[in-house]
């Protein structure tokens, strides 16, 4: 097996940082539909990386390529220091994968599924039984252990799926929508388990539709849209990217609105809704100074709401081509705090 050199592990600042996953210009198309159109990633070992994106953005495709399930059409990808195309077995030895769709053997029991994994990881009989018992316990599957997996509920299958991925202590874990279909308790349980894995130095690559989940877990987040990474950074960095935080003033009287808009100048106007948006981080101090400023100008709005940006805003702003209007959504009253 060729031991691969990793050109991508040196960042531009010259300091090599061990990358668990790195890609350059990764491309994939199905027929004439381009799914991934040049993806560059650099995921340091021991971190949690979340890939967000609307349905059909190519998240699963990215996971499939990085986990050696399908081959890319172009670009390079290295996982655990091995090229996914040239040394797939090196990659496979380091990773654990829980795909978007259930990957359990429905005809045999949950316990047999776990023992099957232990055998395929070449664990001894004793070790295999120990790991199986431990993981079944950890994922709350002891009672169901002796039942055929096809009789499990969706959430139970999901948990078994992830338990099977953890047999063999993978150093890099791919989780494609790990908590979809889990109830709130199981979801928090899963988050806890992911945090424990990370504290053991495991690298986690997850995709999710729950922005809250990315916010909770991920060190870095990338938003995939139209086959490209639309933005990448920490949750904080992403939130700063978009003009999300603001104070919104709404007027009933058009003439009051117009005079306020002229007086305030540095604001975003929404003429239809007769609303003005003043950028703000939402802190008490800034809010007070805004109020003082409005008072000094003699502006009296009929409604004042404070908006802080969340990942939802980032998501909608960055993937706006696929949703009707991020503005329209943000104007809904439920966003007001």
Partner 1 sequence: MSTLSLTLRDSSTMLRRNLLHMRRYPSLTLNLLLTPVMMLLLFAYVFGDVMSAGITGGGADRSRYLAYLVPGILMLTIGGTTIGSAVSVAMDMTEGIIARFRTMAIHRGSVLIGHVVGSVLQCLMSVVLVGAVAVAIGFRAKDATALEWLLAVGLLALVSLSLTWIAVGMGLSSPNAEAAGNNALPLMILPLLSSAFVPVDAMPGWFRPIAEYQPFTPAIETVRGLLLGTEIGHNGWLAVAWCLGLTALGYLWSRSLFGRDPK
Ligand X SMILES: Nc1ncnc2c1ncn2[C@@H]1O[C@H](COP(=O)(O)OP(=O)(O)OP(=O)(O)O)[C@@H](O)[C@H]1O
Q: Which is nearer to Mg ion, 55 or 199 (CB)?
A: 55
Show Cβ contacts of residue 247 under 8 Å, excluding neighbours closer than 6 positions.
277, 278, 280, 287, 290, 304, 305, 306, 307
Q: How many residues does the chain have?
A: 337
Task: Indicate which of Mg ion, ligand X, partner 1, none lies near residue 53 (CB less than 5 to 8 Å, by partner kind).
Answer: ligand X
Q: How many residues bind partner 1 (CB under 8 A)?
A: 28
User: Considering only 49-57, 234-242, 264-272, 316-324, which stretch makes contact with ligand X by CB under 6 A?
Assistant: 49-57
Our finding on whether 227 is near ligand X (CB under 6 A) is no
259 scored as a contact of Mg ion (CB under 5 A):
no
| Helix segments in the chain, DSSP class H | 59-66, 88-94, 110-120, 125-138, 154-166, 184-199, 211-217, 235-241, 254-264, 284-297, 311-318, 326-330
> How far apart (Å, rounded) are the C-alpha atoms in residues 262 and 295?
15
Site map (CB under 6 A) of ligand X, residues 11-40, x = contact: -------------------x----x-----
89 contacts partner 1 (rule: CB under 8 A) = yes
Q: Which of residues 25 and 99 has its CB atom nearest to partner 1 in the complex?
A: 99
Q: Facing residues of 41 across strands? A: 23
What residue has token string 């940082």? 17
Each residue 132-161 as x (binds partner 1 by CB under 8 A) or -, in order, gives ----------------x-------------
Contact track, partner 1, 53-82, x by CB under 8 A: --------------xxxxx-----------
Joined together, the tokens standing for residue 147 give 């039942």
Range in contact with ligand X (rule: CB under 6 A) among 4-12, 52-60, 118-126, 290-298: 52-60
- Residues 9 and 18: their CA atoms lie apart, in Å, by 6
- Identify the CA nearest to 49 among candidates 161, 173, 162: 173
Token pair listed for 71: 């081959």
Residues within the interface to partner 1 (CB under 8 A): 67-71, 89, 92-93, 95, 97, 99, 101-108, 112-113, 116, 119-122, 148, 164
- Residues lying near Mg ion in the complex (CB under 5 A) are found at 59-60, 100
Task: Give the interface with ligand X as residue ranges (CB under 6 A).
Answer: 30, 35, 53, 55-61, 100
């Amino acid at each position: 097996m060729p031991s691969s050199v990793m050109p991508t592990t040196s960042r531009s600042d010259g300091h090599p940082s061990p990358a668990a996953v790195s890609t350059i210009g990764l491309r994939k198309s199905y027929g004439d539909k381009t799914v991934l159109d040049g993806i560059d990633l650099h995921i340091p070992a021991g971190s949690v990386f979340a890939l967000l994106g609307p349905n059909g953005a190519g998240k699963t495709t990215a996971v499939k390529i990085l986990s050696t399930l399908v081959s890319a059409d172009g670009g390079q990808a290295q996982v655990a220091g091995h090229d996914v195309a040239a040394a797939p077995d090196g990659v496979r030895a380091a990773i654990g994968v829980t795909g978007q769709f259930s990957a359990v053997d429905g005809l045999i029991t949950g316990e047999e599924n776990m023992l099957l994994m232990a055998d395929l990881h070449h664990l001894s009989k004793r070790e295999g039984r120990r790991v199986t018992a431990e993981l079944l316990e950890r994922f709350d599957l002891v009672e169901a252990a002796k039942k055929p997996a096809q009789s499990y509920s969706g959430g139970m299958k999901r948990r078994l799926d992830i338990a099977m991925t953890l047999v063999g202590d993978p150093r890099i874990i791919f989780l494609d929508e790990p908590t979809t279909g889990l109830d709130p308790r199981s979801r928090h349980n899963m988050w806890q388990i992911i945090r424990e894995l990370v504290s053991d130095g495991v690298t986690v690559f997850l995709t999710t539709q729950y922005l809250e989940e990315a916010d909770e877990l991920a060190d870095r987040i990338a938003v995939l849209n139209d086959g490209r990474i639309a933005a990448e950074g920490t949750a904080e960095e992403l939130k700063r990217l978009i003009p999300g935080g603001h104070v919104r003033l709404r007027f009933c009287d058009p003439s009051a609105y117009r005079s306020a808009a002229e007086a305030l100048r540095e604001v975003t106007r929404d003429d239809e809704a007769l609303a003005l948006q003043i950028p703000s981080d939402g802190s008490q101090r800034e809010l007070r100074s805004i109020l003082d400023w409005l008072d000094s100008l003699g502006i009296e709005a009929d409604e004042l709401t404070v908006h802080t940006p969340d990942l939802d805003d980032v998501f909608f702003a960055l993937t706006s081509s696929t949703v009707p209007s991020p503005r329209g959504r943000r104007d809904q009253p439920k966003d007001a705090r």
